[in-house]
Structure formats: C-alpha cells, structure tokens
Amino acid sequence: MIIIAALLALLFFYLLFERLLIDRRLHRVKLRIAVTGTRGKSSVTRLIAAALRESGRRVVAKTTGSAAMVILPDGSEQEIPRVGPPSILENRSILRLAARHKADTLVSEMMSITAECLRVEARKLLKPGLLIITNVRLDHWEEQGRTREEIVRSLAVALCPDCTVLVPNEDALPELERAAGRVGAKITRLSADNTPKIPDEVSALLPMEFEDNIRLALAALEFCGVERAVAWRGMAGARPDAGGLKIFRAKIGSPPAPWLLVSAFAANDPESSRLALTKLQGLTRSFPGKRRAILNLRDDRGGRTVQWLDALRAGFFSEFNRVVLVGSPAVAALRRRARRIGKRTRMPERHIAVLSERSPEKITAAMAADADSVPGGVIIGLGNMGGLGRGLVEYWEQIGERMEHDLA
C-alpha cells in the first residue's frame, strides 16, 4: 500500500508539473488560434500563418492534414516525427517549440476527431483566443455522427471561455449558438456579404485555393489587426498544403499522349469533392480528351465508403467517361456491387470498374489505356489521400510537370 501511495503521489506531482509547464508556455504565446472543422483546416492554417508572418509576428504553426508539419517563424517547415498513431499530446512539443523560438503567435490545426479528444485539445492544451470552424460536412460518421447537427455538437466541445469563434454563416447551427452561450464564447458568422471581394491578383496567385478558405483566413487576420493589404500579400505567398489540389501535365499511355493528372484525394467526402470538381472545371476546361476518375477507398473509413457508393449510385460521376475504384485488397469485394450500381444507373460497359492493382504506375497506365478514342484527357483522383492516394500523387510528381497557373 505504501508503494502504491508513493506511486500515486509521484503521478499527481508529475501531472501537476506538466499542467503548470503547459500553462506557462501558453502564457508566453499571447495570440493562439485554433482551426477545426471538416475540410480546409490545413489550408486555412497556412494562409493565416503566412499573413501573420508578413505582418511581423513570430509565428509557429502546425498542420496535421495530409502531412503533419510544423512551420517555423522563418517560414521553413519540419515534418512532425511519429512513431505510433497521432496523439493530441503532440501539442506539448509544439508549445515547447514555440517557446524555444520565442514565438508570440501559435496557429494550430486541431487534429482530434472524437469529441472527447477535441475537448482536451482545445480546453487543456491550446486554450485558443480565436477558434475557426472551417465548415461542417458529413464525414467521420463513426466518430462525429451522421447529421450536420450531430457533427456541430461534436465540434462545439472545442469552444472555450472568452474565445471568439469564426464560422461560415450556413454552419452556425443552433447547437453551436447554445454551446457558445454555455461556455461564454462569442460566435461571429461569416458570409460573402460581410467579407471583402478577393482581388484578382490574389486569386491568380492562389489558383488552387478555395475562395471560402481565403475569406475565413482574411476574417481571422482582421480579428488579429492585420491590415488588409498585408493580409493579401502574405496569403498570396503561402506555401500550399501537401493535400491541396494539384495538377500535373504528363505524357502517358501507349503511344504516349498528353494527360492532366489531378489530385483531389484530400477532399475525402463527396460534398467537398463536388466543390473541388466545380473548381477544376474552370481550371481544366481548355484541356481536350476524356474525363476519368480514380476513387481510392480505405478499409478504415467504412462510413466514407458507404457515402461514395451512394454518391456513385446517385450519378456523382455522370460527367466522367470512366470511373475506377482502387484501394486496399478488400476493395475487390466491391466488384459485384459496382457492377450492380452500373446497371441500375445505365452506365456504359466499362464505365465503372474495380482494380485490385496496388502499383501507382500500373493504375495510371490502365487509366490512360484507350484504343478507340481521342488520345489524352484528364484523370482526377478522389476519395482518400491515405494509402494508394499518396502513392499515386508521389508517382505523378515523378512523371509529370506541376501546373500552377497556366493550364491552357
């Protein structure tokens, strides 16, 4: 009993020491901004951090999307080393790093999905003065719920006393307002009407960025007192996230023909992917040829797979000449279901297929193979960045030329 009591006492004093250390480091970083939501968190985090650096602040930022990165005050980046699965305790290291670099500002993408972890990350580890909810979309069914109201309730646990919450007007549901009232947070609704028009020169420098992300970032920067001209200049120079929209031009197939290879894998859910496709229509309109889609599915995202099959059945891919499902070996189990969906939606033969192939090179070659059509076209990757999605993007980076602005 004495040994157990001694161990419990040691544990108590260790936790107390950790709490005091975290609070001390939080006190040193006067401006703390946290970013949560369903999509766009990494992009918004990067836009805000770049503009705050431009304004003269010493900023440490963290993104945890497709690539977990720390962005230092000089703009350089370091990948966050991970031995096991991601943990919210990484925030302790980020705070320690911010203290070491004498940062006065921390911009952190929140990594938590479950409400329990999100509450601890926000209220115990980050304690933000400004919280940004990028959007509320149907994803992570298992952890957050199957309706927008349930997802809002899950995200609302990140609200902290005395913090300001920026949220798109359409996502400021009553559940969020009630949560803000309980903890003493202030909700600020954002819409196109109360945010300025994005200058053409900024849009031209950020061709792959979504307008909603830019507007959210600008609102956050105005809250921080950054002049608009400085904010535009800083955002225009922001380095894109690894999971952002990417377009490569490459010659593939036999004989080789020009194709655009587009990564929209990180959009993940059908709703966000539809927004990405709408943006891509303008960027790829002048490029001739077929339109084909790779849908990468994951075993550990069962709810998302169901969403995609429902979207497939509802005609999500009607604009494509061919859709190929890839992913883990278990994706082969969808072969019969995919055929049934194809028949119900009266898709042409070979319009929808399932590939068990794991090689990015062979998948890309299969997508470009077509003996009876105009050679070349656009191949768009959707579904999931994890697994084969990342492998395909890395392969496309090797064989293709990255397109940033001129897609004509």
What pLDDT sits at residue 17?
Answer: 54
The helix (run of H) or strand (run of E) holding residue 114 is none
Give the range among 49-53, 109-113, 373-377, 403-407 with minimum mean pLDDT: 403-407
Which tens digits make up the pLDDT trace of 350-408?
A: 577 888 888 999 999 988 887 556 778 899 999 888 888 889 999 999 998 888 655 44
What pLDDT sits at residue 332?
Answer: 56
Q: Does the structure show a pLDDT above 80 at 154?
A: yes
Q: Does the structure show a pLDDT above 90 at 56?
A: yes
Greatest mean pLDDT range, 85-89, 90-94, 128-132: 128-132
Q: Does the structure show a pLDDT above 60 at 249?
A: yes
**Angstrom distance (rounded) from CA 90 to CA 340:** 45
**Angstrom distance (rounded) from CA 210 to CA 39:** 11
**Angstrom distance (rounded) from CA 269 to CA 311:** 10
Name the band, by pLDDT with cuts 50, 70 and 90, for residue 26. confident
Name the band, by pLDDT with cuts 50, 70 and 90, for residue 23. low
Tell which wins on pLDDT, 184 or 343. 184
Q: Which residues contact 101 (CB under 8 A, 6 or more apart)?
A: 58, 60, 72, 73
Which three-class secondary structure state does DSSP give residue 353?
A: strand
**Angstrom distance (rounded) from CA 387 to CA 102:** 37
Report whether 132 contacts 34 (CB < 8 A): yes
**Angstrom distance (rounded) from CA 198 to CA 211:** 8
Question: What is the pLDDT averaged over residues 268-279?
Answer: 87
Phi, psi of 167 (to 5 degrees): -150, 140
What pLDDT sits at residue 333?
Answer: 56
What pLDDT sits at residue 407?
Answer: 47
Which tens digits make up the pLDDT trace of 318-347?
A: 888 888 888 865 565 565 555 555 555 555
Report whether 67 contacts 46 (CB < 8 A): no
What pLDDT sits at residue 267?
Answer: 85
Name the band, by pLDDT with cuts 50, 70 and 90, for residue 143. confident
What pLDDT sits at residue 14?
Answer: 56
Taken in order 193, 198, 203, 205, is the CA torsion positive or negative?
Answer: negative
Question: What is the pLDDT averaged over residues 260-281?
Answer: 88
User: Could you give all domains of the chain from N- to C-terminal order, each with its CATH number?
Assistant: 22-236 (3.40.1190.10), 246-403 (3.90.190.20)
Tell which wins on pLDDT, 155 or 194. 155
What pLDDT sits at residue 88?
Answer: 81
Q: Which residues contact 107 (CB under 8 A, 6 or more apart)?
A: 33, 35, 45, 48, 49, 52, 59, 60, 61, 62
Greatest mean pLDDT range, 46-60, 128-142, 319-333: 46-60
What pLDDT sits at residue 408?
Answer: 43
First-to-final CA distance of the chain: 76
Give the range among 49-53, 212-216, 309-313, 376-380 with minimum mean pLDDT: 309-313
**Angstrom distance (rounded) from CA 6 to CA 8:** 5
Give the range among 4-13, 30-39, 191-200, 269-278 with minimum mean pLDDT: 4-13
| Residues counted in the chain | 408
Mind giving me the DSSP string for 205-230? Answer: H-TTS-HHHHHHHHHHHHHTT--HHH
What pLDDT sits at residue 8?
Answer: 67
Q: Is 21 left (phi over 0), alpha (psi -120 to 50) or beta?
A: alpha
For residue 139 the two structure tokens come to: 């994803």
For the chain, give the mean pLDDT.
83
Phi, psi of 216 (to 5 degrees): -60, -45
> What is the bridge-based pairing of β-strands 130-133 and 31-36?
parallel
CA-derived radius of gyration, the chain: 23
Name the band, by pLDDT with cuts 50, 70 and 90, for residue 92. confident
Q: Does the structure show a pLDDT above 90 at 114?
A: no
- Residue 367: C-alpha distances to residues 103, 138, 261, 350, 353 (Å): 48, 29, 10, 11, 11
Continuous H helices in 132-199: 141-144, 148-155, 174-183
**Angstrom distance (rounded) from CA 205 to CA 233:** 10
Q: Does the structure show a pLDDT above 60 at 203?
A: yes
The number of angstroms, rounded, from the C-alpha of 346 to the middle of its chain's C-alpha atoms is 34
What pLDDT sits at residue 284?
Answer: 76
**Angstrom distance (rounded) from CA 383 to CA 303:** 12
Question: What is the pLDDT averaged over residues 126-140?
Answer: 88
Question: What is the pLDDT averaged over residues 167-187?
Answer: 90
Report whether 7 contacts 238 (CB < 8 A): no
Number of H helices, E strands in the chain: 15, 15
**Angstrom distance (rounded) from CA 77 to CA 69:** 6
What pLDDT sits at residue 51?
Answer: 96
Tell which wins on pLDDT, 330 or 186. 186
The helix (run of H) or strand (run of E) holding residue 284 is helix 270-284
Task: State which amino acid sits at residue 76.
Answer: S
What percentage of the chain reaches a pLDDT higher than 70? 86
Report whether 231 contacts 237 (CB < 8 A): no
Greatest mean pLDDT range, 149-153, 164-168, 270-274, 335-339: 164-168
Q: Does the structure show a pLDDT above 90 at 182?
A: yes
What pLDDT sits at residue 9?
Answer: 66
